[in-house]
């Protein structure tokens, strides 16, 4: 059986566009929570929809999920362009942010995402939630966690929590 590369490109591009669509956000975020639990060595945790907010309740605690991307990036535009390129018969790679830019500014993107969530949920019982940030940035391993942190007026003390096995 001969596979048409154009059909394969189009199928993959459409799958990406679908997976990263707003309709698939709950499934995508559930996938993120599952990978987070596995990375923490937790298997069989009770994970339920949380009513948004928070996105999920994991072992009785609220978990809010946020995706980190570089500023001004529009993921939907990326995947639509990829699909359009596939329709014309070629693969389109995403223009990557530079490693230097991630090193110099990436920690600010993390703080910005956290502050946006803090502002959005100000006045709610979000102090007990875990904010799970997943990174959709090339060179994510180069994010600096040693840079000075700033606290927004709405931020509360932070801690790390993971459900037990």
pLDDT at 159: 46
Percent of the chain whose predicted confidence (pLDDT) is above 90: 23
Q: Could you tell me the residue range of the domain that residue 46 belongs to? A: 5-142
The answer to whether residue 147 sits within a structural domain is no
Q: Which residue has the higher pLDDT, 155 or 131?
A: 131
The answer to whether residue 165 sits within a structural domain is no
- Residue 34: which pLDDT band, with cuts at 50, 70 and 90? very high
Q: Which residue has the higher pLDDT, 6 or 155?
A: 6
The answer to whether residue 33 sits within a structural domain is yes
The answer to whether residue 64 sits within a structural domain is yes
Q: Which residue has the higher pLDDT, 67 or 164?
A: 67
Sign of CA dihedral 120, 122, 123, 125: positive
The answer to whether residue 18 sits within a structural domain is yes
Number of domains into which the chain is organized: 1
Q: What are the angstrom distances between the C-alpha of 151 and each of 111, 115, 156?
A: 9, 8, 8
pLDDT at 145: 62
Tokens of 118: 């803090």
The answer to whether residue 74 sits within a structural domain is yes
The answer to whether residue 149 sits within a structural domain is no
The answer to whether residue 148 sits within a structural domain is no
Residues 143 and 104: beta-carbon distance below 8 Å: no
pLDDT surpasses 70 at 89 = yes
């Amino acid at each position: 059986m001969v596979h048409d590369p154009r059909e394969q490109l189009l199928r993959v591009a459409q799958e990406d566009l679908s997976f990263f669509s707003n309709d698939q956000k709950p499934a995508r975020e559930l996938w993120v929570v599952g990978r987070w639990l596995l990375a923490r060595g937790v298997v069989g945790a009770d994970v339920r929809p949380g009513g948004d907010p928070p996105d999920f309740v994991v072992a009785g605690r609220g978990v809010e999920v946020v995706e980190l991307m570089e500023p001004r990036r529009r993921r939907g535009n990326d995947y639509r362009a990829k699909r359009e390129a596939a329709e014309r018969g070629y693969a389109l790679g995403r223009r990557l942010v530079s490693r230097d830019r991630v090193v110099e500014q990436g920690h600010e993107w993390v703080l910005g995402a956290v502050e946006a969530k803090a502002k959005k949920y100000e006045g709610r019982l979000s102090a007990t939630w875990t904010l799970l940030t997943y990174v959709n940035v090339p060179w994510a391993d180069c994010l600096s966690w040693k840079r000075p942190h700033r606290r927004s007026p709405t931020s509360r003390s932070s801690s790390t929590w993971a459900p037990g096995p």
